A and B are shown apart, each in its own frame.
Chain A
């Protein structure tokens, strides 16, 4: 069983937590996510042109790049995380260019060496899968695909073909961090996706309160929280670990009691 499938086999839905690599004290914040109870961690790779992200994550990318974060730094963070936390799955999330600039094979091999479990690439749809998909699959790294409100049932099989780890349902057509979808539309979407796949379904975009997380946890296999955590890092700078841990713990307890 992979670390990712173990994370989605727990008695409660998984809390998937996102932070941007190189923004603040990333190693301490990663530890805080684990201590707070995150079941899966998404580590964002900063990019100069994050066109699917809202202002909160855009600014985190800028802070990180201005601090001089390189791709090598990100893999170093991942490697040391893996040594400290042998069981918590770590997923890299980012944009195509930094992931493919040295070739898909290079990236997949670095992921493998660093103990990265999966990759989410925002701007490589199934139509461009050869760019990264085959390299990741042969290195044993899960390629986590995104489904959105515009992914209809005709298109869904193309999205699922080659997807593994889990399916990330982007609950609103839009950018990260701004709005949350109506719960009824999330319920319907998760039901529709579950009719087509056995992969765990994690739902994200705009989730910030424990109540929202709990509502999603009643129907989905995972809840993704990103911008709200990144805001805490922005607010508290290098002292963000405590507030991040407490916030994540509040989300986690809401998720655990959701199906209570």
Chain B
């Protein structure tokens, strides 16, 4: 991990010293957790300055995770999109292939960073929440790698629809704890994770899976995930000696998106597009907190949330368990408000169709999360010139989703 210092007035110098990204972010936690959150911030500042920490992080990413992940020109997908595009239109589509990481998604980048912090802080017990199970698997993986006991909170409904990942976590030695409160999905798993943490602050480290939660989590998760954008930027320059015109990434909490976007934020000619899950449609049940929510406070930070007039949090819906959350990381809320990043959404149906398209054209089975990004890429590429370049983050592979997709397509396996 290397840290090049952003220039003043940069888009890359957030958050402020109180953990705020403009009006978003912050540390909205119970008093019991506050001292620990402050400790974590101190420890993270020290780790950032410590070359040994960076060296260990980089070494594990290279030899354990398998980084750098490839940068890939999707030639047949590009051709396919050009077939229905107006004359001269149809941008080149490139992928950052984080689905090839150990454990099959970008989540592991962050887990490596956080478990190193946990060990630095002398914590001996790890907890995490998970939705689709990808973050749970990544956390269980690093816990096995470092020999720490691991407890994963997972909504009962998610356990049902993500059995393969539940089994993976158990194989890796983690205890998967079903959460039945609320709707039994990611939001409820996060509540239960916070309840465990508050009762076990003395020895427990909470590995949060996305760039959200109380400061410094949004910042440190972003920093650990920024390896995606740093690699992609260098790879683009070395392969074709130019930067992409548009970056696209799917957003649940938004860690793969902020990891890709952040290193490019000060490249003013690079546009960025974050894709939320529109579920059954924005007028029905969905998980698009920027499109359909407004600012509020949940799970330690202020950010856009799906909620009613009284501030009661709504249940989200997406076919992708990893996007099924009524909030979003606070830095995305800020980037939306200042207009640096554009945000749009993709429905379950559109994501399913993009999922199949990528299978057929490129021989890659994507996770349902990046399938949302791919659907948007198709849309955008048709509006852009042929010499323009779109770079999308293929943040996870689809093995875990084949049962969900089969069911949605009316096939039993």
Contacts and interface: CB of A to CB of B under 8 A. Distances in A.
A100 B30 contact: no
B181 interface: yes
Interface in A91-144: 95-101, 122-125, 127-128, 131
Interface string A57-76: 01000100100001100000
A152 B32 contact: no
Contacts of B299: 49, 51
A125 B31 contact: yes
A170 interface: yes
A146 to B, nearest CB: 5
Contacts of B18: 127
A96 B298 CA distance: 8
Interface string A140-155: 0000011111111001
A87 to B, nearest CB: 30
A125 B187 contact: no
Contact of A151 (B27, B35, B310): B35
A98 B26 contact: no
Contacts of A145: 31
Given A49-B182, A127-B18, A101 B35 contact: no
B156 to A, nearest CB: 15
Task: Tell me the interface secondary structure of chain A in the complex.
Answer: loop
Given A51-B195, A150-B201, A123 B29 contact: yes
22 contacts: A47-B312, A49-B299, A50-B191, A55-B181, A58-B181, A97-B307, A97-B311, A122-B30, A123-B29, A125-B28, A125-B29, A128-B26, A145-B31, A150-B35, A150-B201, A152-B35, A155-B35, A173-B32, A173-B199, A174-B32, A174-B199, A175-B195
Interface of A: 47-52, 54-55, 58, 62, 65, 70-71, 95-101, 122-125, 127-128, 131, 145-152, 155, 159, 170, 172-175, 178
Given A71-B311, A95-B297, A127-B27, 10 more contacts: A49-B187, A71-B310, A97-B305, A97-B307, A101-B311, A124-B28, A150-B31, A170-B31, A173-B198, A175-B199
The 9 closest A-B pairs by CB, nearest first: A101-B311, A174-B199, A97-B311, A96-B297, A98-B311, A148-B32, A51-B191, A51-B194, A48-B313
